[in-house]
């Protein structure tokens, strides 16, 4: 029996911290381990505060936290850190991973000599020696996949007997940032990212770059592959060659145009959300013509949202697509091309075109222009930005913007005039796309379409998209609530968390359930989302903000036809639940109480 002490904390509120504490306590009790937990709450005060004697008697310290906490009192104890969401959903795995820190298992050495050819020396070293790794995880929206990939890598490293520190680059910026000392001491680096990540600080290190999906599904293989890579020669050329080779080995969409597009979208999102909320408040205070009342507070809000933020969104989208392709030299031509697209009426379609053109043109020029070593520094700050910006600007004005403007205008008029069957069909398509891969390329394609149209003042697709993205986890949560016998113990524990994620428009909350039985779960999710998307479009609901879920609806003016919108979400949730009850068989562990 081991003695575990734990600390749970979440800036989102004490509910997450308490749920994590109870889930961990129940699993520890089942396993026969001693367990004491402190629930940190800055507002109401901490409960179960750990004493010096508690800590001294502990074999391991488990931190289930969503923000940095003071750990000096645990200085001489092994520490395992995770997030409250992981502790709530997978408490058994978290307890096991924490206990693995106490005494990592060293593989037994066979008395019989192993064939030399069958066990290469590097692999043997990886298997028997404790290695230090550092990692970065990042996804386009910086919410679910970022932290799920981090958790998977931590669990995989613990299972292999290695140590890992993970920096998460999420929607609120980088958390648990890696220090220079940690990077220097690391034997290998793992980058699990679907967006562009600055790799300059990892020069001279083994570096394995994968998608967040690969890290989540096969963390052990990702870590093992990183440790057997050759150590590159120090210097930027060695690192660049290593990274380029890794990219060349992956022909998937995530390492190509899709990834570049998502980098642009992730940087554009905060501007769109801030602008959309400002416009919604302006409408709530001064009505739909608030911008015409010069000198009023409502007009100022309208100017901030529509006159500033929405005018910048296409430029940022274009700029960061180019940045993802060509790094910093691509930023200037991308920003200028996107700004011209907005000015010339080409909108987000023109911005996407200008971003890719600026990025690939800059990359082409960087490879083709050769300068003496003493003049090489001029390329990224003078030659490349100037030549690319001039070329992209002229192309946008004379070649690209005019036809794209016609296409965008036609599409905008068509979408604004949609009624009846046409609106229903578009809602079905968008809704189905949101549920099909739950945060994957198809989901993100629909989402990008809706966000881009906000800049053209077309708001109905965004409403259908967000509603349809909420119903998969909500439908699963309702199914868990009313039909526990269709889910195993871990899934029943995760039901409440799925509901919260659904309300927050985090479609990825359905992934753990769909991954276990995709052929039965995904069709049910698609059906429910298609119903919600269709009802939202037919009802003519307009949504001015691209994220936030139910919480965004609390902003006055953010959504029109609120009651039909809520009914569409409820209808899709009920349809999803009903379909799951038909497709899912009874669980073999249905008789095992979730809290036993």
**What is the tally of helices (H) and strands (E) in the chain?**
25, 9
- CA torsion 177-182-183-187 (nearest 10°) is -130
Q: Per residue in 92-107, is it b (16+ CB within 10 Å) or e — as a string?
A: bbbbbbbbbbeeeeee
Strands 173-175 and 163-170: antiparallel
Q: Which of 139, 164, 446, 476 is catalytic?
A: 139
Of residues 217, 219, 185, the one with CA closest to residue 202: 185
- Give CA–CA dist 282/188, Å, rounded: 51
Query: Which sign, positive or negative, has the C-alpha torsion 343, 348, 353, 358?
Result: positive
What's the rounded Cα separation, in Å, for the pair 105 and 165?
20
| Token code pair at residue 541 | 């609901």
Q: Of 540, 484, 532, nearest to 507 (Cα)?
A: 532
User: In angstroms, rounded to a whole number, what is the distance separating the alpha carbons of residues 146 and 12?
Assistant: 18
| Residue 532 near residue 467 (C-beta atoms within 8 A) | yes
Q: How many CB atoms lie within 10 A of CB 117?
A: 6
* Residue 139 annotated in active site: yes
DSSP 51: P
Name the token pair of 94: 């978290």
Q: Which residues contact 24 (CB under 8 A, 6 or more apart)?
A: 6, 8, 35, 37, 62, 64, 87, 91, 94, 95
Q: What is the DSSP letter of 559?
A: B
Query: What order of strands is seen across the sheet that includes strand 34-39?
Result: 34-39, 3-9, 60-65, 79-82
d(CA 175, CA 185): 20
Burial of 371: CB neighbours in 10 Å, binned 0-12, 13-18, 19+: exposed
Beta bridge partners of 192: 137, 210
CA atoms within 13 A on the CB side of 283: 19
Cα torsion 285, 291, 296, 300: sign: positive
Under DSSP, is residue 219 helix (H, G, I), strand (E, B) or coil? helix
d(CA 480, CA 488): 10
Is 309 within 8 Å of 269 (Cβ atoms)? Answer: no
**Long-range contacts at 182-187 (CB < 8 A, ≥ 24 apart):** 182/132, 182/134, 183/134, 185/132, 186/132, 186/133, 186/134, 187/131, 187/132, 187/133, 187/227
CB 433 within 8 A of CB 443: yes
Residue 6 belongs to what H/E stretch? strand 3-9
Catalytic annotation, residues: 139
């Amino acid at each position: 029996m081991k003695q575990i002490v734990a600390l749970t904390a979440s800036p989102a509120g004490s509910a997450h911290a308490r749920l994590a504490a109870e889930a961990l306590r129940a699993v520890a009790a089942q396993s026969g381990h001693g367990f004491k937990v402190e629930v940190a709450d800055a507002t109401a005060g901490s409960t179960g505060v750990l004493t010096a004697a508690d800590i001294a008697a502990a074999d391991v310290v488990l931190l289930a936290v969503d923000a940095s906490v003071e750990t000096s009192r645990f200085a001489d104890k092994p520490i395992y850190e995770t997030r409250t969401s992981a502790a709530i959903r997978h408490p058994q795995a978290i307890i096991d991973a924490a206990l693995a820190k106490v005494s990592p298992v060293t593989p037994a050495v066979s008395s019989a000599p192993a064939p030399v050819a069958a066990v290469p020396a590097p692999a043997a070293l990886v298997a028997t020696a404790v290695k230090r790794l550092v990692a970065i995880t990042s996804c386009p929206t910086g919410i679910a996949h970022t932290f799920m990939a981090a958790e998977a890598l931590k669990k995989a490293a613990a299972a292999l007997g290695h140590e890992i520190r993970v920096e998460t680059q999420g929607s609120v910026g980088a958390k648990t940032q890696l220090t220079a000392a940690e990077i220097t001491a690391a034997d290998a680096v793992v980058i699990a990212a679907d967006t562009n990540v600055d790799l300059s600080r990892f020069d001279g290190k083994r570096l394995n770059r994968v998608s967040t999906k690969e890290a989540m599904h096969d963390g052990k293989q990702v870590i093992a592959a990183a440790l057997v890579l050759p150590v590159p020669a120090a210097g930027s050329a060695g690192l660049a060659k290593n990274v380029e080779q890794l990219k060349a080995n992956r022909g998937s969409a995530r390492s190509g145009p899709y990834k570049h597009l998502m980098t642009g979208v992730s940087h554009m999102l905060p501007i769109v959300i801030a602008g959309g909320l400002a416009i919604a408040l302006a409408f709530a205070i001064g009505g739909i013509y608030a911008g015409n009342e010069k000198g009023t507070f409502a007009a100022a809000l309208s100017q901030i949202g529509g006159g500033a933020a929405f005018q910048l969104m296409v430029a940022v989208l274009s700029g960061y697509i180019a940045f993802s392709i060509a790094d910093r030299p691509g930023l200037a031509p991308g920003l200028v091309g996107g700004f011209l697209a907005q000015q010339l009426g080409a909108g987000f379609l023109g911005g996407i075109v200008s971003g890719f053109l600026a990025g690939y043109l800059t990359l082409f020029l960087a490879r083709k222009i050769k300068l003496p070593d003493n003049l090489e520094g001029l390329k990224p700050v003078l030659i490349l930005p100037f030549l690319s910006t001039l070329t992209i600007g002229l192309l946008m004005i004379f070649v690209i913007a005019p036809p794209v403007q016609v296409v965008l205008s036609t599409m905008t008029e068509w979408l604004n005039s949609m009624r009846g069957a046409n609106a229903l069909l578009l809602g079905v398509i968008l809704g189905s796309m949101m549920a099909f891969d739950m945060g994957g390329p198809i989901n993100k394609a629909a989402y990008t379409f809706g966000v881009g149209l906000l800049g053209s003042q077309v708001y109905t697709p965004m409403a259908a998209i967000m509603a349809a993205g909420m119903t998969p986890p909500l439908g699963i949560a309702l199914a868990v609530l009313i039909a526990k016998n269709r889910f195993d113990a871990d899934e029943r524990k995760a039901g409440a968390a799925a509901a919260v994620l659904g309300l927050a428009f985090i479609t990825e909350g359905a992934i753990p359930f769909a991954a276990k039985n995709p052929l039965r779960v995904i069709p049910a999710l698609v059906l429910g989302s298609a119903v919600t998307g269709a009802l939202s479009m037919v009802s003519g609901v307009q949504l001015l903000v691209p994220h936030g879920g139910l919480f965004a609806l609390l902003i006055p003016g953010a959504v029109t036809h609120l009651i039909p919108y809520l009914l569409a979400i409820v209808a899709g949730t009920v349809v999803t639940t009903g379909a799951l009850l038909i497709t899912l068989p009874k669980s073999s562990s249905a008789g095992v109480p979730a809290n036993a």
